[in-house]
Amino acid sequence: APPPPPGVRLVVQRVEDASLLIDNKEQWASIPRGVVAHVSFSSEATPELIRQAARAVLGAPFLTMGVWGDGSPPRSLVNLAKTPKNNTTTAEKDQGFLGLMVVPQAALFCKLKGATNIKYNRQMDKNKARSLYSSFVTELIIELEKHLEPAKAKQRAMKVMEAKRRAKELMGPVPPEQIFKTGSWKDGFGSFDDQGFPLTDAQGNVLKKSAKKKLKKIQAAQAKKWTKFTAK
C-alpha cells in the first residue's frame, strides 16, 4: 500500500538574518541568524503530526555558527539555545545569537496541473489551518520549555492535566450505550444492538461467547457509573 499523504509540510531555511513584511505596508518582523520555517497543513493533519513537525524544526541540525565551509558541525536550534552564554563567540553575541521565524505557507500543498493551473485539493480549511498554526507555535514553545526551562514545562503539563481532569468531571462518564463507540473502543466493532452492545468485531466477525461475557461486565459497570452521575 502507498504511504499515507503527509498532513504537515515544512520548508526550512537557514539564514544569516531575515525580515518579513507582516501587514503588506510597514510592519516588519525580524530575526538574527537562525531558521525560517514555512509550514502548511493538509486535511490529513493531526495533533501528533504537528508535534512531530515542531520537534523536527527545533531538533534537526540545520545551523552552524561559523562561516560556510569552515568545517563547523551543524547543530540544532535546541542545542544552540542550550549553549551557555559565556560559551558563545563575540560574533554570536553581536548577532543576537539565535532566532526562529515561522511563516504560514498554504501553497506548500498546491499541485501544478498542466502549465497554467494550480490545484489545492487537499488544502486545509482556512479557519482550521489558522487553529493548527496556533497549535504548531504552541508546540514549539512547549518543546523549547522542555529543554530550556524544565521546571516551567512540568508546571505547564500539570496545569493541562488538571484542566483535562476537571473537564472530564464536568462532562461525566460516557453513557453505557456509547461506551464501545468512543475512546479506546472506537472503531473496534462493526455493529451493535439497540443498547449499544457490540455484535461483531471490526472485520464483521460475530463475537465469541467469552468476549461477549467480558464486554457485558464492562457495560454493566459503566451503567452503574452513569446512574450514579445522573442521580446527582
| 13-32: pLDDT as tens digits | 988 899 999 888 889 999 98
Listed ranges 108-122, 161-175, 182-196; the one with the highest mean pLDDT? 182-196
Phi, psi of 193 (to 5 degrees): -90, -175
Mean pLDDT of 163-173: 71
Show Cβ contacts of residue 57 under 8 Å, excluding neighbours closer than 6 positions. Answer: 10, 12, 35, 37, 77, 100, 102, 140
Tens-place pLDDT, residues 42-74: 888 888 999 999 999 999 998 887 776 777 888
b/e map of 176-206 (b: 16 or more CB within 10 Å)?
bbebbbeeeeeeebeeeeeebbbeeeeeeee
The distance in angstroms from the start CA to the end CA of the chain is: 51
**DSSP strand pairing (34-41 vs 117-119):** unpaired
Q: What share of the chain is helix, strand, coil (3-state, %, to 5)?
A: 45, 20, 35
